[in-house]
Structure 1
Amino acid sequence: MEEKVRVRFAPSPTGSLHIGGARTALFNLLFARHNNGTFILRIEDTDTERSTEESVKQIIRSLKWLGLDWDEGPDKGGEYGPYFQSMRLELYSKEAQRLVEEGKAYYCYCTPEELQAKREEALKQGKAPRYDGCCRNLTQEQKEQFEREGRKPVIRLKINEEGQTVVEDIIRGTVIFENSVLDDFIIMKSNGIPTYNFACVVDDHAMKITHVIRAEEHLSNTPKQIKVYEALGYEMPRFAHVPMILAPDRSKLSKRHGATSVEEFRDQGYLPEAIVNYLTLLGWSPEGNEEIFGMDKAIKEFTLERVNKTAAIYDVKKLTWINGHYLRELDGGYITDQTIPFLIKKGIIEEKEVEKNYDYIKEAVMLSRDRARTLEELADMISFFIRDFDDYEEKGVKKHFEDIKTAELLERTAQKLEGIVEFSKENVELKIRELAEEMGIKAAEIIHPTRLAVTGRTVGPGLFEILALLGREKTVERLKKAALWIKNRI
């Protein structure tokens, strides 16, 4: 019977969840779901100096917000826990000790100063700095002497410098590393904390991981990890290293290229559905040319064989375009719920006012969302429906509010609309076109200054729909206010 697929996402909690990490988590989840397997979240928090509880919370919060839910891990538990490396130290210590007893690893008492001196000497001689194995064959006497000096040993794995280590990578094919570039690397630090390359192997074996899907930057760690698998006598999982994500200028992605963490994108008004859709396409190609598809379709089509070998180029414009699509297409109530926090944050509405105005906000959202690309933009676009304003768009003022006759036009428009009993879109349009006919002008000559008067802007949804939603009282009030503004200005 074929082994059940088990994969893991194993972030270090030393910062926020970034786009690269989110994509790695997503690819693991898609692979697990496509193969009816298990997706595990493991927190690799053995970097005691840099790991923080806040970072753990942030990573979990971001994954949940994206909808990348795990089957085993923090908050869920599971048969192979605990899912924090800091709680598994006994297991690492036991396995490292076993390697020492089997003669596959040894205690090294070299001090940092001694190691630094050796590194400098090697560099002087034009050699690559490597550990020279001087503690490989210490006598019991030598060990006891070092212990008396108060030296705390690390544990190093014995490496055979001859030959090659071959990585059979699902995405990259066969990758060969010369063993001569490896040295007897540390597997346990002197403080009893395991190194990354040791701990993750012990955990992947203990958690029965079948496929290790991770970023390309980890490929250079893989030969070391293979040596650990071989020394421990563990069965090897299959490896798949996904391509790097580069900035548009093909440099390493960094803060200078804009938002890079999931929470930054959330705070800028991107929807989780759009980010997941975008990340799916970042380094993976579906069979057709479709660019918009949800999680169900991605799960159905996802295979590691279709992951690209070349670097993926990070393109915020593409993400923003996808986000605009989801703003238009997703359920109106959902988009309204996602927009409200932005309205509150911007001071457009108070939280206590939301409930009684919810239906009105939703109508404003439905009317305006086709033009928005982010929730933040959408909140700005509908602000005039909710909050009065004192400023008018500068280019609109130059075009429409520079003539005293416009004040009269707005007053006449207000008078005409004031008489409407049922203030519907159809009736508003009828009255404005009637007024244009009476004045012997085109309807557009009323529509443009009226839009500026009631919204403060020159563009937006259809004017008649705007006025119908604003209602008679607010529309008339803003028309009169704009007329007075023009008179006072001119």
Structure 2
Amino acid sequence: MTDPSAVVTRFAPSPTGDLHIGGARTALFNLLFARHTGGRFLIRVEDTDRERSTASAVQAIFKGLDWLGIAADAEPVFQHTRANRHREAVADLLALGRAYRDFTTADELEAERVEARAEGRVVRSAWRDRDADQADGRLFVVRFKGPHEGETLVDDLVKGPVRFQNKELDDLVLLRTDGTPTYNLAVVVDDHDMGVTHVIRGDDHLNNAARQSLIYQALDWTVPRFAHIPLIHGPDGAKLSKRHGAQAVGEFAGMGYLPEAMRNYLARLGWGHGDSEIFTDEQAAEWFDIADVVKAPARLDWAKLNHVNQQYIRNADDARLTAIVTEVHRGRGVALHDAALPRLAAATPLVKEAAHTTLELADLTLFVLLTRPLTLDDKTLKRLDPETLGRLGRLAATLAPVKDWAPPSLEAAIRAFAEAEGVGVGRFGAALRGVLSGGTPAPDLASALTALGREESLGRIHDALSPAA
């Protein structure tokens, strides 16, 4: 760090599964606060649990972050590679008399737990003040020698001042019997060595903040500022679970949400800037302050998420949307013949305002990919009585010479035809829509005709008029 006063935040996921939406929001808040303050954002993979930390889970986390567009300002740190450094810190604590070797056996520890529960206190080891020479070569863990009196204050940037009575904090294990470091120790050492100034994480870690603060103080290190953000709840106010729907970032991607829309929506889960609902990444970084995060849990609101996503779809680049929708169709096994691809590109901008997700956008563009002759749905077939068939034949003849095959001209031609026929567009519009779309979702008539193009549109109408239809 060139500036020792600069803000440094970090996102430290445990790679035991996919990137959860709550973790994604934590990463985003860390990124936004770093950008807001002109600081740095780092990523550390907390993979000391080698049995649970799999390569596929690590890949899943980074895949989720990449999709969201969240990138660190340096190469990620993998916690398990720093075990020797963690042990060095423990050696320093032992030398300072702020840690001790605990030779308590498993049976002795269980007996102490039973006694501690009965007395309403935390577990205390008899080896805290005993001579290690009495151990007779037994295995040991190294415990932190925390204070048993007074209190530890965590001046949280979200929660406000939170006080912990030291007598209620046990002497936590720093090193296991095999010499591997524990979570609370590794986090402190890594955050210190990475220069982290602000620890922004879920409020399920609030209790750890007291223990970690004491370790910082015991090592004579500066304690970082803590900010514990409320968890995300489901629409019913209960903790987010599978019954509420998607939880992993990859699931939201598969449901047709755009990454920029997810960033916008996640930023608004527990934080806001006045009445601003839709904003750019630059605006979010300019406005965001961790102190403005609310204390109450945020609720996942699917209607709001869909609304935000719809706004981003409306403003998205048409070529990009077409590429996304093309992949959705491929994933669904839809045949994408060469002649239909230009029609898909033409249809996307015409229907995108009605789509809340890219999956809905795919639904709305499916009609242009159908191959002739279309299999008409029952509703359309019932509407094709002789009178309507005759009218559609005359409409095709009216549309054929239209020079500017675009919504304004086509809409005007359809209305003029209806007036000439002495009927409302409703008398033949539903039948025409069915003939053009085969009963699949489609936009207004003029847009549908435009997306299909002159030749395909007239061809589908003529197919419906022919005896073979």
Q: Distance in 1 between matches of 2:461 and 2:110?
A: 78
Higher mean displacement: 320-329 or 440-449: 440-449
Supply the distance in 2 between the matched residues of 1:87 and 1:364 (Cα, whole angstroms): 52
Quote how far apart the aligned CAs of 1:411 are: 5.4
CA shift for structure 1 position 436: 3.7
**What residue in structure 2 maps to residue 266 of structure 1?**
253
Residue identity matched to 2:433: R
How far apart are residue 415 of structure 1 and its match? 5.0
Shift of 1:456: 2.9
Q: Counterpart of 1:382 in 2: which secondary structure?
A: helix
Q: Which residue of 2 aligns with 1:384?
A: 367
Equivalent position of 2:431 in the other structure? 449
Aligned AA (2:197): T
What's the CA shift string for 1:11-48, capped at 9, x where partnerless?
11111111111111111111111111111111110111
Q: Which is worse superposed, 406-415 or 272-281?
A: 406-415
1:92 aligns with 2:86: yes
Amino acid at match of 2:59: K
**What is aligned with 1:416?**
397
The residue identity in structure 2 corresponding to 1:162 is E
CA distance in 1, matches of 2:155, 2:361: 48
- The amino acid across from 2:99 in the alignment is A
5+ residue gaps, structure 2, are none
Which of the numbers 102, 107, 112 marks the counterpart of 2:96?
Answer: 102
Query: 1:137: which partner in 2?
Result: 129
| Equivalent residue letter for 1:133 | S
CA contact (8 A) 1:46 1:86 kept: yes
Contact 2:367 2:441 in 1 (8 A): no
* Distance change >3 Å, CA 436–CA 131, structure 1 → 2: same
Do the aligned partners of residues 214 and 258 (structure 1) sit closer, same or farther apart at CA in structure 2, a change above 3 Å counting? Answer: same
Q: 2:26 aligns with which of 16, 24, 43?
A: 24
Where does residue 78 of structure 1 map in the other structure?
none
Residue from 347, 357, 361 that aligns with 1:364: 347
The count of aligned residue pairs is: 465
List per-residue Cα deviations over 1:400-449 (Å, max 9, x = no partner): 72563366346525752684374724665566456545544323212221
SS of equivalent residue, structure 1 residue 90? helix
2:458 aligned to 466, 470, 476, which one? 476
Residue of structure 2 aligned with 1:201, choices 188, 191, 198: 188
Out of 120, 131, 139, the residue aligned to residue 127 of structure 1 is: 120
Partners of 1:311 and 1:429 lie apart in 2 by 50
Would the alpha carbon gap of residues 403 and 200 (structure 1) be closer, same or farther in structure 2, given more than 3 Å must change? Answer: same
- 1:27-66 alignment runs, 5 A limit: 27-66=29-68
Question: How far apart in 1 are the matches of 2:330 and 2:199?
Answer: 43
The answer (yes or no) to whether the contact 1:13–1:55 under 8 Å persists in 2 is yes
Residues 386-406 of structure 1, C-alpha deviations (whole Å, 9 max, x = no match): 223856566x44xx7256336
Residue 216 of structure 2 corresponds to residue 234 of structure 1: no
> Which residue identity is paired with 2:48?
T
303 and 433 in structure 1: CA distance in 2 versus 1, 3 angstrom threshold: closer
Residue 359 of structure 1, CA deviation = 4.4
Shift of 1:118: 3.2
Q: 1:6 to 1:110 in 2, by over 3 A?
A: same
Which letter maps to 2:289? Answer: T
**1:210·1:237 contact (CA, 8 Å) conserved in 2?**
yes
Structure 1 length normalisation: TM-score?
Answer: 0.88
Give the C-alpha shift of residue 260 in structure 1: 1.2
Residue 177 of structure 1 is matched in structure 2 by 164
Verify the 8 A CA contact 1:423 1:471 in the aligned structure 2.
Answer: no
Q: Say whether 1:314 aligns with 2:296.
A: no
Distance, in Å, in 2 between the alignment partners of 1:209 and 1:7 is 6
SS at match of 1:401: helix
Partner residue in 1 for 2:323? 337
Deviation at 1:166, TM superposition (A): 0.6
Shift of 1:98: 1.8
Report the Cα distance in structure 2 between the residues aligned to 1:306 and 1:429, rounded to whole angstroms. 50
RMSD across aligned positions (CA): 2.6
